[in-house]
Structure formats: structure tokens, C-alpha cells
A and B are shown apart, each in its own frame.
Chain A
Amino acid sequence: MSRTLLFIKIMADQTYRLELKNITKSFPGVLAVQDVTLSAYPGEILALAGENGAGKSTLMNILSGAFTADTGMILLDGQEVKIPSPRRAQELGIAMIHQELALIPQMTVAQNIFLGREPLFAAGTLVNTKMMQAEAQSVLNQLGLDFSVTALISDLSIAQRQMVEIAKSISIKSRVIILDEPTSALSERESAKLFDLMRSLREQGVTLIYISHRMEEIFNLSDRVAVMRDGQLVGVAATKELNVNSVVQMMVGRELKEFFPKAETQRGEVALEVHNLRSGSHLKDATFTLYKGEIVGLAGLVGSGRTEIARVLFGADPNEGGEIRVAGKLVKIHSPQEAIRLGIGLVTEDRKAQGLFLGQSVRSNASVSLFERLSRFGFLLYEKIDQWVRGAIQQLNIRAANLEQRVGNLSGGNQQKVVIARWLAVNPQILILDEPTRGIDVSSKAEIHNLMGELAAKGMAILMISSELPEILGVSDRILVMREGRLMAEFSRADATQDRIMQAATGQLQNAGLNVHE
């Protein structure tokens, strides 16, 4: 492989936009990127694939100045460049949209787009707000985004924030744009918008490097695919010479395990009944029932109120008038603590803000919800805790140097797995998962889906929110669709198709199947 790479390199040296040569980067205890040599042409979309923790984000962070490589060289349009800071990268025309969003929540959209390069008045001291907002508006228009440039980031949904990041990189007029799992928080429709945009940037000669775990997207979009494993580059090839299997095989370095088709589950008693749930402006009316032993998919566009349902059921937001019955009993849930006592669990959608303690150890993060159970007179039984955490690490294939490692230093996908692990420990009666496999690689994703099936088979009721329709269709026994804060449709597994769900989510199909179980 390396010899062919070298050969291609000599052949095409002049035409590369970007060359990474022998890049190595280690962190205490981890060799994250090891002697990687990789090049990209102008006007191409290069996909970067690899398992969670393979080193993709680290490599790209080196290119965008967030990290400095231990050794190696970077050439941009044939010139060697040093990129000691993100600012320098920006000046060189390299923009990166990070896996974990990096916007400032207390600032407006326009301020974030122009952060650090605000247009100034002649004197050079005051920010020219009007001009900044006008330019930001024109970028938003170009992307077809309909929120205001003066909106605060903290008031936007994750998907909208993602689009702000993209708007930012476009406004910089970059030569190289790196997108680290940009679609993991987007719905189908928003992703499509992003892909159109990426294609038109490619036409303009921009080099796009695109990290994703979604194979369909990689194959639809990219010109070439580079695959990393354990910090090394294991292959680069034209997309049309590859197929999903060959990429996955390169990623995991072995034959793919067999994944079982979804198991038929037995629908048990009623686990949860919800009547006219209402909260704030995002959730107007939802009435549905969950049964033990079934996985219910909750689909809908981003912002349609799905997350709000989860938050109200979990006591994170107030319930404004709806009725909630757990196992037949009318309950009031005022706090997450009460929800957990009633046997409800929630994997939140935003792991960084709501799920993880980034500065704390893998152990604490994975086992926090076990502390009550695994302590005596307040003293934690660390031996038992460690034993359990090790088991979860193995079950979910979490790549961590050791149990003491800070969760913030894990790769994005491994962070997500830690959040899931926490709830496996609790083993609730009702588990709500909000975008549970965001950022998780293909093989682990299938494993998590299998795990959900097993949990349901043992009698758990699972409500899964997902913006990925294939995931919804693949995992759910029943599918609910939300639109603008209301539950609009219900499909059985047999009746559901991608089209029908989309129609219900966008309002072309009204109240389908909702009276079925009344």
C-alpha cells in the first residue's frame, strides 16, 4: 500500500492541494496518530473513515491548528506550512467544523460567524455590527437557513448550531474545509441541504475532507475514501472501487461479525401512558402508550418536539398539564431523580452539555448512576464499581487507556458509548434514548442496536428518538412521528416506509394510524 501511495504522490505532486507527510501525534498514554501520509486534490471530497478512536479527529485537528503534531510535515499547494494555531489555519484558508460544537452560547449567530475577525470601523476599534449582520445574513440565505442572525446560539437547536458552524466556515472562504461528522446531529432534509452545498463548493475547487460513520453518505458524496485504524492510515482508494463491506473490513481489520436481524419481541403490559403532554412552545400535544418489550421509534424533523417529550417524561422540564401513568399509576415527575426512582432513564442528545462530566474519569462517568446502589453507608464499593465498568467497556467496546482517563480525552464515539453505559447500569423499566448512536461507528452501532433488542426482550420499554430514518426503520417495532409539537402519525413496523414517515413529518400526511390503539 505505501509503495503505491508513494508512486501516486510522485506522479501527481504538482496537483495536490494538501499533503500530510508522516504525521505522528501522541497524548499521554496514547499514540493517537502514527506516521500518517495523506494527500487531497483541489475540488474533491475526500471521506475519512475509521472506528471510534482511530485518530480521525486528531489528524484533522492537527491540520486545523488545534493540536501540533509531534513529527511530520504539512504542504499546502506545494508549500510547506506551519499551523501552530487555529487562527493561522484560518489565515491559510483551512476551516474545520468540529465534532463537538465550539460556538459561544451567549453570543449571537452573527457574532459567532465572525468571531475573531469582526469587520471593524475605520478607526479599527469598534465592531461594525450592521455590516457583520448583513454579511452573516447573506451566508445564511445562501444556505437556505431561516433563523435570525441576531438569535442567541443558546436558543438554537443542535442542528441549527451545526449549520451556524458551516456558515462560519463558508464565510471564511476556505481552500480546505474539514467536516468532522457534520450530519450526526442533522435530520435527513438538513443533511441533503448540506450535501448540495458541499457539492457546489467542490465545483468551486474547494477541498473537502469529510469524516463520517454513515456509509450511505460516504458513498453518495465522496470521490475518494481514506481509512484509518489504530492511528494508522490503512488505505486510500477511489470511492467507486470500493463498497461498504470493503470499507468496513478495512476499518475493523477483520471479517465483520454477523449481525442478527431484528428479533421479534413479545409486547407485554403497558409500561407508560401519556395523555396530552404539553410543555413550553415546542411540545403542544402528545398522547401515546409504551408497552414492555417493545422499541418505539420517535421520528420527526429536528425541532418538532421529540426531545421535549423526553425531557418532560424525565422531569427535566415541567409538565404543563399532561397526564403521565407509569405501569398504570398516575404520577407527577418533578425532577430527574424522581424519574429514575420510577424506573425511567434518559440518554440525552447533547452528550457534552447534558450527558458527560468531561473533566472526570471514565469510571465516574460510566458509574455515577450506580453510586446509590454500590455504596455502603455512603462509602463507594470501588471494587464492584470497577468490575462493572470494565464489563461495560468490554460490552460496548469502549477505547479508553484506563478507568482513570478523562472522558473529555476520549474520541467522540467513545464518549457517546460511556453515556449509554451509564444507563445500562441502572437497567430502568423505561429507557428513552435521544439520538443514541450519534457519532458511533458502524460495527458498534449494530452492537448497540442488538443490545437494545436484548433489553427489550427482557421486558424493557424503549423509546428511541432518531433523525436517521434507516435507524428508526431498522430498530423500531412501532414508529411515532411528530410535527410542530404534535404527535401526527403512528405506523406499525410493517406499514412504515421512509416516504410515509417523511410525509407525516412534513405535514403531507395527517393523523395516520393514530386512533389504532385508543
Chain B
Amino acid sequence: MTAPVEQLRSAPFTLNIFLKRFGLLLVYALLGLGLSLLSDRFLTGSNQINILRQATISGIVAIGMTLVILTAGIDLSVGSILALSAVITADLLKQGLPVFLAVLIALGIGALMGMVNGLMIARGKIPPFIATLGMLTVGRGLTLMYTQGKPFTGLPDTFRFLGTGSIGAIPMPIVIAAALFILVTVILTRTRFGEYIYLIGDNPVAARLAGINTNRMIVFVYMISGICSALAGLILIARLDSAQPVIGVGYEFSAIAAVVVGGTSFSGGEGTLFGTLLGTLLIETLSNGLNLLNVSQLWEQVIKGVVIALALLFYKAINRSSK
């Protein structure tokens, strides 16, 4: 092809592409600007750290959820996995098990429950929604049985460091979440495993015919989601110094919301972890702001719901017009 043709063939960078790439960042900036004008407490360092700390728990769950949704799946059982692994760990810690072992066992429980999810979906061909809904119920039931409805409180200080300690000025939960975020971003963008996740989400039939072991990949992905949930649970009980039987109820909602607001498509194969990060921060900033402005809890729910719906409409509009 000759040079002039090449030139003619390139069309300008459009508004659509701009919005798709930076739209969320823009909304986040506008929200921040608005809130800092409305409340002088918003932009203080302690409040920002507060937002980040809040965001770590739902953020960690949302990281696992992002992988699951990228494969065109869904994991409704995150809250229950978080709860069961948290109460068992709390119990073991109280019985004097070393912190290191207790943490490993918690992550192991998360992985195991995720594996059961994955096997039901990949081998059993049960739709993810149904399979993980089952796990949600079973997990919560087991948690209630295990605790007999009573919380475990008073955890060892070495363990509580995970939730309340800090490295330098940075609180421990933020350190953990940031490390996990970087690790999973690298996996998603640099490794075979990450590529396979996108490909399976895009077209599972073609993925299998391209020689990808799709079943094993699906199981891995749900295991990772389970591990993330368990980790979030550890941080949560370390911070609260107690593991309640109803801990983590409704977490699936906030995780899914963060992922979706972050631009990951429910139909799979499209989305980024960075989007999920922004989605999480956006939602947490919004709650924080509404709190500062003394908006009632009830309205907060409504406003969050509207924001999620608007985000979905926005992505749909952009996708349609860029076709």
C-alpha cells in the first residue's frame, strides 16, 4: 500500500474512544471535585485514607469477581465464602493455632469452596448463577451452624496487625490490596493464564477448539475468587476484632457493582482490573461523600443503584455507537 492511501485510511480519534478510555476517570474526578466543594472534610488526608481502607475489603473481593465475570461467569457466593473461612479462622486462632497456619487454612477454605463452584460449572455444566447461588446458601448455612449464631471475638494481636497495623504511614489492608491488585494485573495482562481468561469469556467453544483446557481454567478462576474472598474476610475480622456469623452478607452485590461500573462486560472477554479499581473507589467515595453530607442510609442505597444503572447505560451507548 502506498503512503497516501495509508493516510486516507486513518480516521481521527473520536469522542467515543476518549469516553471509553477516560470516561470513568472523568466521573471520578468530577465526583471528587463536587464533594470537596460540598464538604470541607472530604479532601482531608485522614478521610482519603479512610475511603481507601473501606475500599480494600470490597476491592479485594472485586478483584476475584473481575476474573470470574471476564469468563462470562458470576460468583454470588463471595460473601458466604468470606464468612465461613472467617469464622473458622477466628475459632482456630482463639484455640491458639499459629497465625501463619490459620491464614493458610482460611485461604485453603476459600480455594476449596471456589473449586467446588468451578467444578459444578465446568464439569457439571450448571449455570454459574445457579451453582454459586447454591454455594451462597450452603456456605451461609454452614457458617451459622459452625458459630451456633454466636460471634468469635478477641483475636490475637499478631493477627490483628493484618487489619490495624501499618507499614510506614500506609495501613496494612491497603498494602495487601495494592499488592494483590498489582499481582493480578500482571497475571491478566502478561501471562498465558490471563489471555486465556479473556479468550474463554469471549468464545468458550472457540477456546476449546484452540486447544485451551477450558474446564481447568474455569475451576482456577473460581478458586481465585474464593481465595480473594477469604483474604478479604481475614482483613475484615482482623480490623473488627470479631467474626460475626452474618459477616459479609451482601458483599456479592458491592463486588459485582464495582466490576460492572468499572466497565467489565457481563458477556465476558472485555474489561480491565484498573476499571474495577476505579469502580470500587467510585462507589466507596460516593458512600463516604453521602455519609459526610448526612444523607440517610436508605437514600444511599437508592443513589448507588441509580449510579450503577447509569454506568450500564453509558457503556451500552458507547458500545453501540462505536460499531
Contacts and interface: CB of A to CB of B under 8 A. Distances in A.
A316 B209 contact: yes
A140 to B, nearest CB: 28
Nearest to A337: B211
Interface stretch (A208-216, A318-326, A363-371, A482-490): A363-371
Interface in A334-387: 335-337, 339-340, 346, 348, 353-360, 364, 368-369, 371-372, 375, 378-380
A31 interface: yes
A335 B215 CA distance: 11
Contact of A31 (B10, B196, B208, B213): B10
Interface of A: 26-31, 34, 67, 230-231, 314, 316, 335-337, 339-340, 346, 348, 353-360, 364, 368-369, 371-372, 375, 378-380, 401, 422
Given A360-B202, A371-B195, A422-B210, A29 B10 contact: yes
Contacts of A26: 11
B115 to A, nearest CB: 20
A31 B192 contact: no
Contacts of A314: 209
B156 to A, nearest CB: 36
A360 B205 CA distance: 15
B13 A28 contact: yes
B5 A360 contact: no
A231 B9 contact: yes
Contact of B206 (A27, A28, A354): A354
A185 B206 CA distance: 19
Nearest to B207: A357
A518 to B, nearest CB: 32
Given A28-B14, A31-B11, A346 B206 contact: no
23 contacts: A29-B10, A31-B11, A34-B8, A67-B323, A314-B209, A316-B209, A336-B211, A353-B203, A353-B205, A353-B206, A354-B209, A357-B269, A358-B203, A359-B269, A364-B198, A368-B211, A368-B212, A369-B211, A371-B195, A378-B191, A378-B193, A401-B10, A422-B210
Contacts of B205: 353-354
Contact of A357 (B11, B17, B203): B203
B193 to A, nearest CB: 6
B192 A375 contact: yes
A246 to B, nearest CB: 22
B32 to A, nearest CB: 30
Interface string B1-34: 1000100111101101100000000000000000
B9 A30 contact: yes
B143 to A, nearest CB: 35
A28 B199 contact: no
Nearest to A345: B211
A31 B13 CA distance: 13
B9 A355 contact: no
A30 B14 CA distance: 12
A422 B212 CA distance: 13
A379 B190 contact: yes
B95 interface: no
B270 interface: yes
A67 B322 CA distance: 11
Given A357-B202, A368-B199, A375-B191, A346 B209 contact: yes
B11 A348 contact: no
A134 B192 CA distance: 52
Contacts of B196: 371
B9 A230 contact: yes
A359 B10 contact: no
Given A357-B202, A359-B269, A369-B210, A30 B191 contact: no
B202 A368 contact: no
A231 B6 CA distance: 12
A347 B137 CA distance: 44
Nearest to B17: A28
A29 B13 CA distance: 8
Contacts of B191: 375, 378-380
Contacts of A316: 208-209
Contacts of A359: 202, 269-270
Contact of B211 (A340, A360, A378): A340
Interface centre among B196, B206, B210 (most CB of A within 10 A): B210
Interface string B177-204: 0000000000000111101101100110
Nearest to B196: A371
Nearest to B265: A359
Given A335-B213, A348-B209, A356-B203, 12 more contacts: A28-B17, A30-B9, A316-B209, A336-B210, A337-B213, A353-B203, A356-B206, A368-B210, A368-B212, A371-B195, A371-B196, A401-B10
A40 B130 CA distance: 54
> Which 9 pairs across A and B sit closest by C-beta, in order of nearness?
A26-B11, A357-B202, A340-B211, A378-B191, A371-B192, A31-B9, A368-B210, A359-B269, A359-B202
A26 to B, nearest CB: 4
A364 B199 contact: yes
A162 to B, nearest CB: 20
A371 B210 CA distance: 11
Contacts of A380: 190-192, 195
A28 B193 CA distance: 30
A401 B322 CA distance: 16
Nearest to A353: B205
A203 B192 CA distance: 57
A120 to B, nearest CB: 28
B5 A230 contact: yes
B190 A29 contact: no
Interface centre among B203, B269, B270, B322 (most CB of A within 10 A): B203
Interface in B7-64: 8-11, 13-14, 16-17
Contacts of B10: 29-31, 401
Interface centre among B16, B192, B203, B211 (most CB of A within 10 A): B211
A89 B1 CA distance: 35
Nearest to A30: B9
Interface centre among A335, A354, A357 (most CB of B within 10 A): A357
A372 B192 contact: yes
Nearest to A367: B195
A314 B209 CA distance: 8
Nearest to B203: A357
Nearest to B198: A360
Contacts of A231: 8-9
B192 A28 contact: no
A28 B195 contact: no
Interface in B59-106: none
Contacts of A346: 209
A335 B208 contact: yes
Contacts of B207: 357
B197 to A, nearest CB: 11
Interface centre among A28, A67, A364 (most CB of B within 10 A): A28
A372 B213 CA distance: 12
Nearest to A348: B209
Nearest to B208: A336
Contact of B202 (A336, A354, A358, A378): A358
